[in-house]
Copies of this chain bind each other. A is one copy, B any other.
């Protein structure tokens, strides 16, 4: 059994938490850091707190363009990514996506990653 790791409620933890928890734009650690810079927080702490939140199941990660982005929406969902403005948006995962799962090979599916890449209506 796994019990949730104890965390101290530091000023920095609250800062990072509040900066990411309501976001829908999947920011990078650097972006969060830049926004919290005036507080005097260190970049390493931003990375550490984001990693801790992922470990605690509060955040999910999305890899894009060789950078890890953070997502407070942890339930299964798909993404659309605009190649012009690089905006990553959430979109509902098709309900019948499990019908598409690889039924063969005895592959045990844990996670589905579905992303549409293209151009958003703003950038067309």
Number of copies: 2
A110 / chain B contacts, CB cutoff of 8 Å: 83, 117-119
Q: Is A115 an interface residue (CB 8 A)?
A: yes
A124 / chain B contacts, CB cutoff of 8 Å: 106, 108
A100 / chain B contacts, CB cutoff of 8 Å: 94, 96-97, 114
Count of interface residues, chain A, beta-carbon cutoff 8 Å: 30
The reply to whether A117 and B106 contact each other, CB–CB distance below 8 Å, is no
- Beyond A82-B107, A107-B119, A108-B118: 9 further Cβ-contacts under 8 Å? A63-B63, A100-B114, A101-B116, A102-B116, A107-B121, A108-B124, A111-B117, A112-B116, A112-B117
